[in-house]
Amino acid sequence: MVTIPIIEELIQTKKQMIVKDNKEERIFVKELIEAFKDIDMSNLFDVEQLENVIFSLASSMERIWVKNSKTVNITKYSKS
């Protein structure tokens, strides 16, 4: 006999996205490039400094994503 566990599954109904080839996508890419340029990587002499740069970049990316993306409902007609 085989026992198959049944678990509750969370089905995502919303997602954040930027529509391809629109103004928000161009702004997102431009701001992301600026964020890369603005990060000071001249003093990467140890792991802690590297982690600080990575954290700074991740924070910038998240801020820029939230600013330029929008929340959309996922439907059976949604494209991946």
Range of lowest pLDDT (5-9, 38-42, 49-53) = 5-9
**Percent with pLDDT over 70 in the chain:** 95
Do 50 and 44 contact (CB within 8 A), yes or no? yes
What's the pLDDT score for residue 78? 66
Query: What ranges do the domains of the chain cover?
Result: 14-73
pLDDT at 47 over 70: yes
- Pair 57, 38: CB distance under 8 Å: no
